[in-house]
Chains A and B, each alone.
Chain A
Amino acid sequence: DAGITQSPRHKVTETGTPVTLRCHQTENHRYMYWYRQDPGHGLRLIHYSYGVKDTDKGEVSDGYSVSRSKTEDFLLTLESATSSQTSVYFCAFRGQNTGELFFGEGSRLTVL
């Protein structure tokens, strides 16, 4: 058990609706990340956080926002979902050893 959970694990929604994905970690890690995985692209960074209320953009941040009001929770919000945001979303925290990332189980989002 890596101490990180994502919810919901699966979601189907319609274009134009807001969606929030939650990432919860239990080990007080400072750095957290949201990635999306799409065929042919590997994983691409959306946003990351380096502390409570401290966040920054990644490679593919357009259309996404994040919030981190507590160390343990990192939320990813799609203000108005589009079909191009259909993807698998992974949350991760940074490990203490070599800086490897430990990932949640992933959240599969389908935007119709």
Chain B
Amino acid sequence: AQKITQTQPGMFVQEKEAVTLDCTYDTSDPSYGLFWYKQPSSGEMIFLIYQGSYDQQNATEGRYSLNFQKARKSANLVISASQLGDSAMYFCAMREKGGNTGKLIFGQGTTLQVKP
């Protein structure tokens, strides 16, 4: 069965430092997509970054990059130069097998706190 695992319930990082949020996944489908979302304390879900299973390069979006290690089935989110506004919960997600439906399965989330 497809599964997403985020093993870090909570993390701290000093402002201006980089931080890595871990995500591992399990699927037997050779074609899949991986996503990261941010949920600040206000509650909305904000899409951050996407990685396709056939993409040759790691995805980047501004200060966000996705460290995609296909053989290890990991899709870690790297946030560079952390800012106080990065304090939030972060969810890793994978597009399910039979991707035409667009359904995503989510990990349990990691709460990140940025210290000044």
Contact = CB atoms under 8 A, between A and B. Distances in A.
B43 A50 contact: no
A78 interface: no
Q: Please tell me the size bucket of the interface on A.
A: 20 to 34
A100 B108 contact: no
Nearest to A94: B102
B103 A106 contact: no
Chief secondary structure at chain A's binding surface: strand
A42 B108 contact: yes
Chief secondary structure at chain B's binding surface: strand
A101 B102 contact: yes
A100 B50 contact: yes
A42 B107 contact: yes
Interface string B95-115: 100010111111111000000
A101 B44 contact: no
A92 B90 CA distance: 17
Given A42-B109, A105-B44, A99 B102 contact: yes
A41 B108 contact: yes
Contact of A48 (B47, B103, B105): B103
Most buried by A among B33, B102, B105, B106: B102
A16 B112 CA distance: 38
B72 to A, nearest CB: 21
A101 B47 contact: yes
A103 B103 contact: no
A66 B88 CA distance: 31
A107 to B, nearest CB: 10
A42 B37 CA distance: 11
25 contacts: A31-B101, A31-B102, A33-B103, A43-B45, A43-B93, A43-B104, A43-B106, A45-B104, A50-B101, A58-B103, A59-B105, A92-B45, A94-B102, A95-B47, A98-B33, A99-B33, A99-B50, A99-B99, A99-B102, A100-B35, A101-B45, A101-B104, A103-B45, A105-B43, A106-B44
Interface of A: 31, 33, 35, 40-45, 48, 50, 56, 58-59, 88, 90, 92, 94-95, 98-103, 105-106
